[in-house]
Each structure stands twice: as structure tokens, then as C-alpha cells.
Amino acid sequence: MDREKIISKTEEFVKKTLIDAEGGHDWWHIYRVWQLSKTIAREESVDLFIVELGALLHDISDAKFNGGDETIGPAKAFGFLKSLEVEESVIEHVIRIIENISFRKGLDGQEFSSPELNVIQDADRLDAIGAIGIGRAFSYGGFKNREIYDPDIKPNLNMNKDEYKNAKAPTINHFYEKLLLLKDLMNTDTGRRIAAKRHAFMLEYLDEFYREWEGL
Ligand code: ADP
Ligand code: NI
């Protein structure tokens, strides 16, 4: 099977797999990360085939929604790529990417890195900030039944992996606990440039949010 065909088969597989996914983590998140990965990859020397497969398969089973099991996603991706008879070395690399991409994993120390992972990780993090990121945060907060804001509950900047997973704080706190930290975690120059713009937009949003909160 040629590479183009493998990509379109993968697109089809991921769409089908995510049919019931929650709003912030659905096919369209994958779509955006895929497109953004290609944009960033243009300015990096990476294997575009691996970047595209990794981007498409990076979130097919979120541990948040299956009792914390972080092996299901990589196992599903492995089975799928095997079924298409993708080269062993490509499968291996894509699986390592999926295993190592998440923010929560980053909190405990990442075990693997590659230029391709760097590109996808930037794209994934960029989708959590800016206008889209704000939308996703409130969507996730609603899904978890959280308040949008409570001035008496202060952000917690020193969470470990479990505290981060189980946090019950209002959604605005998530800006300080994660979203505003992401611009400094970019791996690539293109990522940094896009992050700066999206970051500035979030600061402006927060400014307006607090003004409106006080009736201004
Ligand atoms: P990713 O899939 O990018 O690794 P997560 O699984 O942590 O990241 O989160 C998916 C989306 O849900 C992101 O946009 C993130 O900002 C949002 N999200 C995660 N945790 C929270 C939270 N506690 N409050 C609000 N939004 C959250
Ligand atoms: Ni993602």
C-alpha cells in the first residue's frame, strides 16, 4: 500500500474510532493537530509520513476516559498499523510517539524524544491554547461539571500527575495550571511563534473575563 493510501485509511480509522468522543477530544481535535503538524513540519527536517501517522493516532484512546489505562491507545494503533502492513520501524516510532506525547506524562518525565514527536507535541499543545483552547477548556469543564470560575479557589501550580488528573477546580484555574504554561514548552521555532500569538489572545481574554465578572 502506498503512503498516501495508508494516511487516508488511517484518517478513516480514527474518525470511526472517535465517533462518540467528548467535544474537546474528538475527530476535529485530531484534524486540527494533523493540519498544524503539517504546517510545523514544513519548517523542520522530519519524516512527514511519521508525523502524519503520529498526529492522526495520538489520541485514539484517552486514559482519562478508560480508567487511567495508558496502554489501550498504543495497542489499538499497533494493531491497526500492523493490519495495513506498515513497515516495522515506522510502527515502532509511531507507537513511541503516542506513548510519550501527553502533558500528564510530561509531568513525570518523558522517556523518548524525536524530531517527529517534537512537531506533533507542539501541534497538540497549540490546540490547547488560543481561541480553540479556550473553547476546549470550557467544554471539558462542562463535561466534568465544573464551575467556570470561583475567585476563592486559587490555582495550584505544583500538581503531580494524580492531582492533575483528579483536579476539581474551576475551569479558569486550568489557564494558570496548564494553558498559560504551554508557550514555554514549545519544541520548535514555528511552534513558539504560533504559541506567542495564541498566548497573547488568552491573556486578553482573561483580562476581559475579570472585567465582566466585576460588572464592568
Ligand atoms: P491533550 O489531549 O492535549 O494531551 P488533555 O487530555 O490534558 O490534553 O486535555 C484535553 C483538553 O481538555 C485540553 O484542551 C485541555 O486544556 C482540556 N482540559 C484538560 N484538563 C482540564 C481541566 N481541568 N479544566 C479544563 N480543561 C481541561
Ligand atoms: Ni491531543
Give the model confidence (pLDDT) of 3-55 as tens digits.
999 999 999 999 999 998 876 679 999 999 999 999 999 999 999 999 999 99
Which one of the ligands is nearest to 64 CA? 1
Residue 106 has pLDDT above 60, yes or no: no
Phi, psi torsion values for 82, nearest 5 degrees: -60, -45
Ligand 2: distance of its center to the CA of 112 in Å?
A: 17
More confident residue, 11 or 104: 11
Mean pLDDT (whole number) for 83-109? 85
- State the pLDDT at residue 24: 63
Distance CA 110, CA 146 (A): 29
Ligand 1: distance of its center to the CA of 7 in Å?
A: 26
Q: Are 120 and 55 in contact (CB under 8 A)?
A: yes
pLDDT exceeding 70 applies to what percent of the chain? 93
Mean pLDDT (whole number) for 52-79? 85
C-alpha angle 99-124-90 in degrees, rounded to nearest 5: 45
Q: What is the pLDDT of residues 126-151, one digit of tens each?
A: 999 999 999 999 999 998 999 999 99
CB burial of 59-89 (b: ≥16 within 10 Å; e: otherwise) equals: bbbebeeeeeeeeebbebbbebbeeeebeee
Mean pLDDT (whole number) for 77-91? 97
DSSP structural state of residue 85? T
Which one of the ligands is nearest to 142 CA? 1
User: What lines the ligand 1 site, CB under 6 Å?
Assistant: 24-25, 59, 62, 64, 102-103, 124, 128, 133, 136-137, 140-141, 167, 171, 174, 178
